[in-house]
Amino acid sequence: MDGIDTLRDTYLNRIKDAGDEAAVEELRLAALGKKGEISLKMRELGKMTPEERQTTGAALNRLKDELDAALRARKASLADAALEQRLAAEWLDVTLPGRPRRFGTIHPVSQVMDELTAIFADMGFSVAEGPQVESDWYNFDALNIPPEHPARQEHDTFFMHRAEGDDRPPHVLRTHTSPVQIRAMTQQGAPIRVIAPGRVYRMDMDQTHTPMFHQVEGLAIDKNISMANLKWVLEEFCRAFFEVPSVELRFRASHFPFTEPSAEVDIRCSWANGQLKIGEGDDWMEILGSGMVHPKVLKAAGVDPDQWQGFAFGMGIDRLAMLKYGIPDLRAFFESDLRWLRHYGFASLDMPDLASGLSR
Amino acid sequence: MKFTLSWLKTHLDTAASLDDIAYALTDLGLEVEGITDPAAKLKNFTLAKVLHAEQHPDADRLRVCRVQTDEGEKQIVCGAPNAREGITVVLCKPGDYVPGIDTTLGVGKIRGIESHGMMASERELELSDEHNGIIELPSGEVGERFVDWLAANRPGAVDPMIHIKITPNRPDALGVRGIARDLAARGLGTLKPLVVEPVIGNFPNPITVRTETEGCPLFAGRVIRGVKNGPSPAWLQQRLMAIGLRPISVLVDITNFFTFDLNRPLHVFDAGKVKGDLVVRSAQDGETLQALDGKTYTLRPGMVVIADDTGVESLGGIMGGEVSGCDEATTDVYLEAAYFDPITTATTGRALKINSDARYRFERGIDPAFTLEGMELATRMILDLCGGEASEVQVAGAVPDTARAYRLDTDRVVSLVGMEIAAEEQRATLEALGFRLEGDMAHVPSWRPDVLGEADLVEEIARVASLTKLQGKPLPRTAAGVPLPILTPLQQREKMARRTLASIGYNECVTYSFINAGDAALFGGGADAVRVENPISSEMTHLRPDLLPGLLRAAARNQARGFADMALFEVGPAFTGGEPGEQVLQATGLLIGASAVRDTFGSRRPVDLFDAKADAEAILAALGAPAKVQISRKAAGWWHPGRSGVIGLGPNALATFGEVHPRILHALDVKGPAVAFTINIAKIPYPKVKTPTRPALVLSDLQAVDRDFAFVVDAQVEALTLVNAAAGADKALIESVRVFDQFATDAQKAEGKKSLALTVRLQPTDKTLTDKDIEAASAKIIEKVAKATGATLRA
């Protein structure tokens, strides 16, 4: 039995001192391999008495298990140490910048159009479109602005060139999105609820005007839609768009040839330290024009004004963007300055929807 | 339109405050643009009395005064020659802002003597230009507010001036009386009666007039002889000056006064300068008129003129002529009151570019029925202010019939406005505005040319009832439940294109729809059909034929600002012609510079056409374009001929990608190279059946096998030809073919060859592939590729 204890001590010491996995394997073979010392001792059991065989056999088996466990443990700890060493050598400067990636942006005009669409879709409005080169009939006559009407002069219209011999009145670059009212009603008839966002053009260029800008038109026609419904829709729109708990609108009588009665709409706001706050304060800011669609306009679009009535409104998309997002200069919208695009632009996945709120 | 509060009160009997009036005006649709209240800047000043004045010991021109004020006796040093004992003066105290010298006073020391305030001159208070001395008031108590004294003694000096915006439909509000009528209808006072007592002519009208044009349906005139023209009385001058008009002479001032007071433009001719009789006719081509603005106008047929034997004397409804104008020497005056057709007036005014108060009114439409009454009122004022005697009135033509009536449906009013307005109130409103009600029919007053239907009655009732009071009412959903999606497929695509482009790193731009002629021509545009007739600048003359020029210009601007690398895009219309609807929706992306910033990984490399191609393909995939497309080299002339391609489906060009032609970059000042792509969003076919259901996923349990092939081909053979040939070798077995390497050794280059390596994935469906199967498939692939391209396997 002394031999077994010696064997254990010898091997356990050698296992403890093994410097690498190869040394451990060598020891395993020397002790437990087919020709290893313990295997050889096992073979000697046959020569023993049954009593001796029983005790020595059990002791050898225990020794075998013990050495096996020690060998495995040593192997694992050597592997751990090797890994530690490798990891220590694999140090990188994590303060270096990551791999470059480009970040794209959505223009505020597109973003606001998507916001408008989300809000009005919920109220049952679809999105109508029309051409940007318009006939003067759609842009003016059908909207109850006859050729000599002073309102026509106030539109600062861009006219398209007319070839010699073509006696039609020149086409215009649409001065507002209102002609889409006519096109939508002509195509879909009544009842109808649409908004029509898009580019419009006026001959005006200064600090606060650009010859191209964006408007959104709204139109709702049904059997008994009233101006009070118009006010509610606009209140709901403003509350949702400006993302404030409540808004207050003020209707002021005004005149647009295509609506009757007509109202300019002001929103309650405050301007403190150059910061606009919607829904509070003592100031009023004009934000849009609106009214009940003029019977002549309905008639021009083939809708019977004795049966149908409803409202229309129009507002500036660029201006809405400026007000909501604090963008100071309209002209910069169309200059494509990368610094501006990145600063005022929106992430591609900032998709406005009512469930998550329109803006982050 | 400008007027003063006291002027308004000549027509409106009211106790309403200025604030209430301003609020009501805006609410009624007569939007107040501004109020100038001269009292505001004078409100701090009080009256004081000089008790004693003596020479300043150290200054010849200064006096030291003891002044009695509401705060006791004060010492004030004053330089005015009239500062003397006993006068009542206007006192500005330390802390007060004095408008005429733009200074806030403090306690000063003038040549060693303290001065507690100042005594003001008229100029220092901006009351007039008078500055010869300080104001000496003939009355007033110490401590009285100066504005109160002015209100009692010189009301014109503290008369608030109100500036309102008049919408084009309200010519009646271009006279103070019309504004007063609106306010009275709102309940802010009562409209004072306007009494017209005709002046009986003392003698026959020596100048006869006849009208020969429809542009002037009514023309009335009379001579007033023996008048004395000169400066107007102070009240009239003040009225006109308060609204920014310069007093000229009493005759001219009277016509201006009537223009603004009663919206009744008049004209006065010097009767002594009229040769023969007058005729109102259409101008002859080339006739000229030297008008009162000093300019000479060349006239055209259709323009309405008033002419005498020597020629045109006046442009009807727009401006008088200099020759027959009245001046100080005028003793006999011919007074004209006429009604000119709005459209004729507008056309003439626009053609000649004359803006006058008369044109402004006639083209909007004034009250034709008031023509003769206006003449009588003006005659009376001329007689009152200039003396003389009036002839009989001669009238040519007749008052145009404006009589019309519309049915007032009080229920429909409530239904349209959405506000409870009692029927009686509706009727009362219309009557207050001058409508005459007969049963349900409302007869429109002659001064309201804008009221042309029932809807206009609704507007009148609504605005007088006050839209400010309107309460919102929910608009019910058209259908109960979750709203349906509303975007059309094309609108969804436009949005998807935009969002995908941003997600792969492009910055969205919105550039102008019009570009300059040169840029347009470079991109196949610039035809006359897309030319703007009246461009605002030479840079914006033609509708863009493509989005690329706008983006390239944007890139050049950014390069000038020091940005070399950029990815820009725009989604918007390009114009194929000048007719409505000749526009197509494009999504265009532009890459310039390097793919990335400089970094430690060496990521940075110049962008190339394969970046553009990959991005174009990503957008096409996002928009649902089929994976299998053709690529041709038939790109337009603004692309690099060797480095551009068109992604097509049969005859449909879905997209173009490539390098922008260097000549284009040079012309547009862009430092290149630049790569770009343009997607024709509407050309991408829609799925034939729209269903959210996906086709079933077919997966094989059998092992797929990848095999690589290295071919040598002529350098100009296109990779896609090899890929298609390989894929066609066994359509059932071959799942995919992909190019994974391309190179040319020097030897290959010398022979005009290149190596292309393909990897082919074989996916069996019924049994595992044996080596033999694979060999057979490989042989077929090699054969097909060789046949299609002349390729050989690389040794």
Let me know: does A223 contact A307? Beta carbons within 8 Å: yes
Q: Which pLDDT band holds residue A31 (cuts at 50, 70, 90)?
A: confident
Q: How far is A47 from chain B (nearest CA, A)?
A: 57
DSSP state of B386: H
DSSP letters along B238-255, please?
Answer: HHHHHTTPPP--HHHHHH
- Do B744 and B787 touch, CB atoms closer than 8 A? no
Contacts of B350 in chain A (CB under 8 A): 153
In order of B119, B249, B255, B574, B576, the CA distances from B92 in angstroms are 6, 37, 41, 67, 71
Helix, strand, coil percentages (3-state) for chain A, rounded to 5, are: 45, 20, 35
Which residues fall within 8 angstroms of residue B353, CB to CB, at 6 or more apart?
Answer: none
The residue of chain B nearest to residue A102, with distances taken between CA atoms, is: B505
The amino acid at residue B513 is: S
Domain locations in chain A as residue ranges = 2-89, 108-344
Matching residue, tokens 């007509």: A262
pLDDT at A331 over 90: yes
B475–A349: do the CB atoms touch at under 8 Å? no
* A250 in reach of chain B (CB within 8 A): yes
Name the DSSP letter for residue A50: H
State the average pLDDT over residues B133-139.
92
What distance in Å separates the CA atoms of residue B658 and residue B666, rounded to the nearest whole number? 17
Domains of chain B listed by start with CATH number: 2-37+160-191 (3.30.56.10), 40-158 (2.40.50.140), 209-397 (3.50.40.10), 405-467 (3.30.56.10), 489-683 (3.30.930.10), 705-793 (3.30.70.380)
The top-level CATH class assigned to A108-344 is: alpha beta
Asked if residues B511 and B554 have their Cβ atoms less than 8 Å apart, the reply is yes
> What stretch of H or E contains B553?
helix B548-560
Shortest CA distance to A353 belongs to which of A244, A245, A243, A232? A243
* The length of chain A, given as a count of residues: 360
Q: Decide which of B484 and B512 is more confident.
A: B512
- Nearest chain B Cα to A96, which residue? B600
Hey, are the CB atoms on B455 and A294 less than 8 Å from each other?
Answer: yes
Which chain A residues in 12-71 lie under 8 Å from chain B, judged by CB atoms? none
Cis peptide before A261 (omega within 30 of 0): yes
Q: Provide the mean pLDDT of chain B.
A: 94
Beta bridge partners, B281, equal B305
Q: Can you tell me the mean pLDDT for B151-156? A: 83
What is the identity of the amino acid at B786? A
Write the DSSP string, B84-143: -TT-EEEEE-TT-EEGGGTEE---EEETTEEE--EE--TGGGTS-S--SS---BSS--TT
pLDDT tens-digit profile of A296-329? Answer: 999 999 999 999 999 999 999 999 999 999 999 9
| Burial status of residue A64 (CB atoms within 10 A of its CB: 0-12, 13-18, 19 or more) | middle
Which ranges of A227-334 would DSSP assign to H, the alpha helix? 227-242, 295-300, 317-325
Distance from CA of A71 to the nearest CA of B (A): 41
Chain A: closest CA distance from residue B437 (Å): 21
What Å distances lie between residue B270 and B223, B273, B297, CA to CA?
Answer: 9, 5, 21
State the pLDDT at residue B688: 84
Spell out which residues of chain B touch residue A252, defining contact as CB-CB under 8 Å.
26-27, 29, 31, 467-468
Answer whether A62's CB lies under 8 Å from A84's CB. no
The pLDDT of B114-139, averaged and rounded, is 90
Q: Is B309 in contact with B275 (CB distance < 8 Å)?
A: yes
pLDDT > 90: what percent of chain A?
A: 74
Contact at CB, B475 and A229, closer than 8 angstroms: yes
CA geometry: angle A287, A293, A299, nearest 5 deg:
150
φ, ψ of residue A166 to 5 degrees: the values are -90, 105
Q: Which residues on adjacent β-strands are paired with residue A254?
A: A262
Amino acid at B134: I
CB contact under 8 A, A232 and B505: no
Q: Which residue in the set A162, A263, A345 is minimally distant from B467, CB to CB?
A: A263
pLDDT digits (tens, 9 = 90+) for B227-267: 999 999 989 998 998 899 999 999 999 999 999 999 999 99
| DSSP for residue B309 | T
ipTM above 0.85, yes or no: yes
Give the alpha-carbon dihedral of B465, B467, B468, B469, to 10 degrees.
60
Q: Do A105 and B507 touch (CB under 8 A)?
A: yes
pLDDT at B526 over 70: yes
Instruction: Say which of B467, B472, B563 has its CB closest to residue A235.
Output: B472
Q: How close is the nearest chain B Cα to the Cα of A275, in Å?
A: 23
Interface test with A, best of B19, B23, B33, B467 (most A CBs within 10 A): B467
Residue B621: pLDDT band with limits 50, 70, 90: very high
Using a CB-CB cut-off of 8 Å, the residues of chain B touching A163 are 528-529
Task: State the average pLDDT over residues B552-574.
Answer: 97
Q: Are A331 and A210 in contact (CB under 8 A)?
A: yes
- The amino acid present at B542, given as its one-letter code, is H
Q: Is A30 left (phi over 0), alpha (psi -120 to 50) or beta?
A: alpha
Q: Tell me how far apart the alpha carbons of residues A293 and A316 are, in angstroms, rounded to a whole number.
A: 19
Question: Touching check for A283 and chain B: CB below 8 Å?
Answer: no
Which chain B residue's Cα is nearest to A133? B580
CB contact under 8 A, A264 and B31: yes
With a threshold of 0.95, does the pTM exceed it? no
- ∠ at Cα B198 (B193, B201), nearest 5°? 165
Residue of A92, A94, A99, A106 for testing the chain B interface, max B β-carbons within 10 Å: A106
Cβ(B319)–Cβ(B358) under 8 Å?
yes
As a whole number of Å, the end-to-end CA separation of chain A is 80
Find the closest chain A residue to B454 by CA distance. A295
Answer yes or no: are the C-beta atoms of B571 and B678 closer than 8 Å: no
Chain B contact probe: residue of A338, A339, A344 with most B CBs at under 10 A: A338
Q: How far is CA B730 from the centre of its chain?
A: 66
Q: What is the pLDDT of residue A232?
A: 97
For residue A286, the model assigns a pLDDT of 93
Residue of A nearest to B585 (CA): A131
Distance, CA of A11 to chain centre? 67
Query: Given B29, B495, B557, which is nearest A253 (Cβ)?
Result: B29
For residue A85, give how far its alpha carbon lies from the nearest alpha carbon of chain B (Å): 26
For residue B499, how many other CB atoms are within 10 A of its CB? Answer: 22
Which DSSP state fits B203? B
Distance CA A51, CA B59 (A): 144
B416 and A227 within 8 Å at the Cβ level: the answer is yes
Task: Indicate the SS3 state at residue A337.
Answer: coil
Residue B615 exposed, middle or buried by CB count within 10 Å (0-12, 13-18, 19+): buried
- In chain B, what residues touch A183 (CB-CB under 8 Å)? none
Give just the sign of the alpha carbon dihedral B382, B388, B389, B393: negative
Q: Choose from B33, B407, B532, B601 for mutation: most chain A CBs within 10 A.
A: B532
Residues B170 and A262: beta-carbon distance below 8 Å: no
φ, ψ (nearest 5 deg) of residue A62? -60, -45
pLDDT digits over A234-249, tens only? 999 999 999 999 999 9
Residue to mutate among A336, A351, A354, with most B CBs inside 10 A, is A336
Left, alpha or beta for A356 (phi > 0: left; psi -120 to 50: alpha)?
alpha
**What pLDDT is stored for residue B196 in this prediction?**
93
Query: How far does the CA of residue A88 sit from the closest CA of chain B (Å)?
Result: 22
Query: What is the arithmetic mean of pLDDT over B462-474?
Result: 94
Predicted confidence (pLDDT) at residue B71 exceeds the cutoff of 70: yes
Chain A stretch 76-115, residues whose beta carbon is closer than 8 A to a beta carbon of chain B:
96-97, 99-107, 109-110, 114
pLDDT above 70: percentage of residues in chain B: 100
Q: Per residue, what are the HEC states of B435-456?
A: CEEECCEEECCCCCCCCCCHHH
CB atoms within 10 A of CB B704: 12
Cβ contacts of A335 on chain B, cutoff 8 Å = 554, 557
Question: Which tens digit of pLDDT belongs to each residue from B320-349?
Answer: 999 899 999 999 999 999 999 999 999 999
pLDDT in tens, A36-76: 888 888 888 888 888 888 888 888 889 899 999 999 999 99
Does residue B391 contact residue B203 with C-beta atoms inside 8 Å?
Answer: yes
- The H-assigned helical ranges of B133-286 are 146-153, 176-186, 234-242, 250-261
CA neighbor of A292 nearest in space, from A222, A238, A194, A235: A222
User: Which of B509, B515, B530 is the best residue to mutate to test the A interface, defined by the most A CB atoms within 10 Å of its own CB?
Assistant: B509
Residues in B closer than 8 angstroms to A212, CB to CB, are 512-514
Which residue, chain included where needed, has tokens 């919105």? B510
Checking if the pLDDT of A1 tops 60, the result is: no
Q: Give the whole-angstrom CA distance, residue B794 versus residue B709.
A: 8
